[in-house]
Copies of this chain bind each other. A is one copy, B any other.
Amino acid sequence: MNDGPDWRPVKRVRAFEEVVAQIEEQISTGRLRAGDKLPGERALAAALGVSRPSVREAMRVLEAMGVLVANTGSGPEAGAILAGSAGPALTGVLGLHLGLANFAVDDVVETRLLIESWAVEAAARHASEADLDRLRAIVAAMDAPDVSAEQFNEQDTEFHTAIAELSGNALVATFMRALRDTVRRHQQRAVVELGSNTEALRADHRAILAAIEARDPHAAAEAVAAHLRRAYPRVGRGR
């Protein structure tokens, strides 16, 4: 089994990678928590023995991953603050790789169907009355007579995200939002074709809500599947 030395030569370690690694370590060991503020770039550079540009590149990486936000000025709001959610970062990553053809749009929609079916089942099982009120309010807002296409889309996102959150799994909710945003950004780049056909979609929403209200997980999953098949008809064939 031994084919000789075969040692993998040292991996190049760039300065900013070391900085990222150290900050990651502080996070995973709990020494840095959400809400904490990092030292200034100059102080960090001095403490780590690297130059400020290297620290800045590390900041950009962490910022791209949604781990921190950087603010200028002074006061409590200024500086690099650990916070953020993974959502926007995920959306960005997925969108880029969609453009690079590493994924297909159908893959994204299919995955969304898979995740949302599960989420709505969980939601149907243990949604509280307050949760239901929230969904009802969104559905009612979408049924108002004067909603623009943009508002409609916004509230549609709201509705589906709310369902995902009701599943009680924060990661699933984040995935859901990222997938929906990815599809939406992609399709709005092509054509906004739903036009005045929103009635069918709104009816779907009402059906989903009704199934959740009836505590019927299976029916809820079916309703979601039907809804997505209507919204993205091309998916699901051929596989």
Main secondary structure of the interface of A (DSSP, over half): helix
Q: Measured between alpha carbons, how far is A170 from B61 in the docked complex, in Å? A: 25
Chain A residue total in the interface (Cβ 8 A):
56
Within 8 A of B (CB), among A68-112: 72, 82, 85-86, 89-90, 92-97, 99-104, 107-108, 110-111
| A24 part of interface (Cβ distance < 8 Å) | yes
Distance between A123 CB and nearest chain B CB, rounded to angstroms? 12
Decide: A100 and B33 in contact? CB cutoff 8 A: yes
Residues of A within 8 A of B (CB): 12, 16, 24, 27-28, 30, 33-34, 53, 56-58, 60-67, 72, 82, 85-86, 89-90, 92-97, 99-104, 107-108, 110-111, 114-115, 118, 122, 126, 168-172, 174-175, 189, 239
Between A and B, 26 residue pairs with Cβ closer than 8 Å are: A24-B99, A27-B99, A27-B100, A28-B95, A28-B99, A28-B189, A34-B101, A57-B57, A57-B60, A60-B61, A61-B61, A65-B96, A85-B97, A86-B93, A86-B96, A86-B97, A89-B93, A90-B90, A90-B93, A104-B170, A111-B175, A114-B115, A114-B118, A115-B115, A126-B239, A175-B175
